[in-house]
Amino acid sequence: MRSVEEHLGTILDTVDPLPPYEQPLLEAIGLPICEDVAATIDLPTFDNSAMDGYACRLADLEGVSKESPVRLPVVGESAAGQTKAYGLSPGQAVKIMTGAPMPTGADVVVPIEWTDGGRANVTISQLPAPGQHVRPRGEDVRAGDALLEEGDVLGPRQVAILAAVGRARVMARPRPRVVVLSTGSELREPGTPLGFDSIYDSNSYTLAAAVRQADAIAYRIGSVADDPQELTDTLSDQLVRADLVVTSGGVSKGDYDVVKDVLSRVGTVQFTEVGMQPGKPQGFGTIGEDETPIFTLPGNPVSSYISFEVFVMPAIRRMMGKLPYRRPLVRARCATGFTSPKGRKQFVRGHFEVTARGAVVTP
């Protein structure tokens, strides 16, 4: 009998990270990037106004106050995106909007609230500090500055800075395409009538949902009958779009041997017992010319989901290059006692909460 760590080690040794390629920014959300990114431009790329107001020369505003305002002629108006560039001579002002480029010669912006809002001439009654309300070129980022490092996970903040410096794509590994199917002639699709000896297929839904929660792409095939040819044909059809295959059912002792028979002929799957509860019967290997990894999980719904968390999710994260491969562990006080089988790692369902006395879990 293998330990959980031994079985997981075999899996992670077999599964390789997917080759990276340049992806559009929004398609790479949640993925670790596979390159260091440096800025190729300054941010801002030009001196611009941080306020709506009037661009002026500070030297022309000496001594300004409410009691002693200054009146300047307005020689133009500058708006964001406007191609016309203004030059400012001594004793002049340019009306300016937020984000608009500063006129040549101007070194401060007077907020419109500090003026009478004039169009031909403006009366200014409050003195700004040197450089106030001006966003100088390169204030946020200088060309050549390091922005992101290889392994950083792309989120809204990372996308914002990449787009701001003109990057439309980034090097990242793709999300694994995971084909999910359940085996068993007794399975029926939810929403259809049940026979007296049939049950609804919940496993493929659960596992497909878990795949998506792991940030991969799920292709849920549904259920396949206990028929060797049907299973063989289904796997053959799906391998063209699969980076990983997950099946549930047909791996326990006493089950129909359809899964074991088919996979022993088309791949390298090894069926083994793992020292864990639930989820003792496990299968893993590769199938097809491309040696696509395949997991054969138990058919019990709890066992299949626990098996996914323990074995499949780390494989998915490795394929994407996401670290750590496993969920972080949290220590908690157990509210009640429970028995655990000797020699097996037990995964117990429980309710977790943080109280005034610390973390507590109740089986």
- The pLDDT assigned to 320 comes to 96
Give the three-state DSSP class for 358: strand
136 cis-preceded (ω within 30 degrees of 0) = no
| Per-domain boundaries in the chain | 4-19+174-320, 29-43+139-172, 48-135, 333-362
Token duo for residue 195? 């026979």
- The pLDDT assigned to 251 comes to 79
Rounded to the nearest 5 degrees, what angle is found at the Cα of 216, between the Cα atoms of 214 and 221?
Answer: 110
C-alpha 332/C-alpha 88 separation (Å) is 68
324 cis-preceded (ω within 30 degrees of 0) = yes
Q: Determine contact, residues 301/202, Cβ cutoff 8 Å.
A: yes
Token duo for residue 250? 């047909």
pLDDT per residue as tens, the chain (363 positions)? 999 999 999 999 999 999 999 999 999 999 999 999 999 999 999 999 999 999 999 999 999 999 999 999 999 999 988 767 889 999 999 999 999 999 999 999 999 999 999 999 999 999 999 999 999 999 999 999 999 999 999 999 999 999 999 999 999 999 999 999 999 989 999 999 998 899 999 999 999 999 999 999 999 998 999 888 999 999 999 999 999 999 999 877 666 678 888 888 888 999 999 999 999 999 999 999 999 999 999 999 999 999 999 999 999 999 999 989 988 889 999 999 888 888 899 999 899 999 998 999 998
Give the three-state DSSP class for 253: coil
Please name the fold of domain 29-43+139-172: Molybdopterin biosynthesis moea protein, domain 2 (3.90.105)
- The pLDDT assigned to 351 comes to 94
Q: Which residues contact 22 (CB under 8 A, 6 or more apart)?
A: 169, 170, 171
Q: Is 145 exposed, middle or buried (0-12, 13-18, 19+ CB in 10 A)?
A: middle
Which residue type, as a one-letter code, is found at position 188? R
Phi, psi of 96 (to 5 degrees): -135, 145
Out of 3.90.1150.10, 3.40.980.10, 3.30.565.10, 3.40.50.300, which CATH number does the structure's domain 4-19+174-320 have? 3.40.980.10
* Top-tier CATH class for 48-135: mainly beta
Rounded to the nearest 5 degrees, what angle is found at the Cα of 316, between the Cα atoms of 298 and 274?
Answer: 35
- Tokens 């992101």 correspond to what residue? 148
* Burial readout 175-205 (b: 16 or more C-beta within 10 A, e: otherwise): bbbbbbbbbbebbbeeeeeeeeeeeebebbb
Token duo for residue 256? 């129909």
Give the three-state DSSP class for 208: helix
